[in-house]
Amino acid sequence: MMKMIGANDNLGRAIQCQIAANTADSDKWKAVDWMEWQAKGVAPRILMPAKTTRMKADELLAEYGGASEAGIVDYENVIDELAELFDVSRQAAKVRLIDLGYAKAEGAYPFVDGRYVRGYSFEPESLEKNQTFTIPYADLFKAYCFGREFKRLIDTGNFVFADRHLVLNDERYIVRDQAGNAALSEYALSHMDECCVVFTKGYSYQSKYQGARYYTQFMRNAAPVDNQVEYSFELNNHNKVLLDQIKNAKRRSEALRRYPGSFAETLVALQKDRKLSNKQLADRSLVGEKTIQRLRNDEEYPTSVQTVLALCVGLKLPLPEAEMFLGKTDFKLNSMKGEGYVYQCVLSACTENSIYEINEMLEANGITPLGSDPDLQ
């Protein structure tokens, strides 16, 4: 791209100066990265001049009490109006607002893993430049597999990955639907800085995880991302405050019973406690109804780690119970290399998501999905 516009002439140098500091290694970019950057970075700056955009944004925000008083829905309305006015995409208008200092726009129209999630509000000073509360599954898995501090954080069982945010597992912040799937509460959506882990934006070619065992293999299978963007966990001041809240807390163990007996007996007891029929559990776990019946009745019935983990998701087991249940089998996640780490991350933070969402992200990252073999159902 830069060859096309002339990296050494005045225009080329002027455009290169627009690249953020964290793209200093832009010489490593592929052609597609330059095209994406041009579309998302250069275009908004050219099509949305700073002075004109600020004037129009302030005019629109004034209808909602100004930039500091406007709510997230107000910012989304402003973004839509700016996108239409300047003939740019919604995401380009959002990025330009953030670039011009409208920090609260970060919570508007979060777009991750190919879809929008609900907008959110936060204290503007809680996020620094290139920080976010919203990450894709791939970066959650990556941080868990290759970041020791992050793995320790997740393995406390005190966080839930809901709506692409890592949130304190507290009834103030998490609500659950009839199937037990977790979502952010209205309170959480308006107080994200109070309950969510912050992630730092970087690029995979500068990754802090480079050199880690199995990193190359993980990246080979990982879902592709725009411009090689990578969100990683840092033990910054915000995250230290969150850790202080759980530092003295024991691993979550509500409703934990030391279910005696075999795997089959424990499955029966767990279903009874949750009042789940075989059909209901099959729908929530993608484990065949006949398979569930056989697992309940026959201790020797062959199964797979994907089937057992799917049952954990279908039963919505908190981490201690999930580990107890898995411990009644011969499967050891820590002996499965990279795939085992991803499965452990699912057990630690994702079991309250739907089995369909979990499987979609596992498959996108080259990991065998959960459930039973359709041929055995």
- pLDDT (0 to 100) of residue 31: 52
- pLDDT at position 363, please? 93
Where residue 376 falls among pLDDT bands split at 50, 70, 90? very low
Specify whether the CB–CB gap between 376 and 288 falls below 8 A.
yes
In this prediction, residues 342-358 reach a mean pLDDT of: 95
Q: Which two tokens stand for residue 305?
A: 């780690």
**pLDDT at 87 > cutoff 80:** yes
Q: Whole-angstrom Cα distance, residue 155 to residue 153?
A: 6
- Looking at residue 81, what is its pLDDT? 96
Instruction: Please state the rounded mean pLDDT for residues 292-313.
Output: 95
Is residue 78 very low, low, confident or very high in pLDDT (cuts 50, 70, 90)? very high
Name the residue type at position 18. Q
Q: Give the global pTM.
A: 0.82
Query: 116 pLDDT exceeds 50?
Result: yes
**HSE-up (13 A, CA, CB side) for residue 166:** 31
**CA–CA separation, 71 vs 64, rounded Å?**
8
What is the average pLDDT across 33-57? 73
CA distance 289 to 248: 42
- Mean pLDDT (the chain) is 85
Give the model's confidence band at 280: pLDDT under 50 very low, under 70 low, under 90 confident, else very high: very high
pLDDT of residue 23: 47
Among 275, 277, 272, 313, smallest CA distance to 292 is for 277
pLDDT of res. 222 = 78
Query: With bands split at pLDDT 50, 70 and 90, how would you rate the model's confidence at 335?
Result: confident
**Per-residue pLDDT tens for 200-254?**
998 877 788 887 887 777 887 777 666 678 899 999 999 998 888 776 555 444 4
Instruction: Produce one character per residue of 157-180: b if its CB has 16 or more CB atoms within 10 Å, e if not.
Output: bbbbbbbbbbbbbbeebbeeeeeb
Alpha carbon distances (Å) from 124 to 105, 161, 374: 9, 22, 49
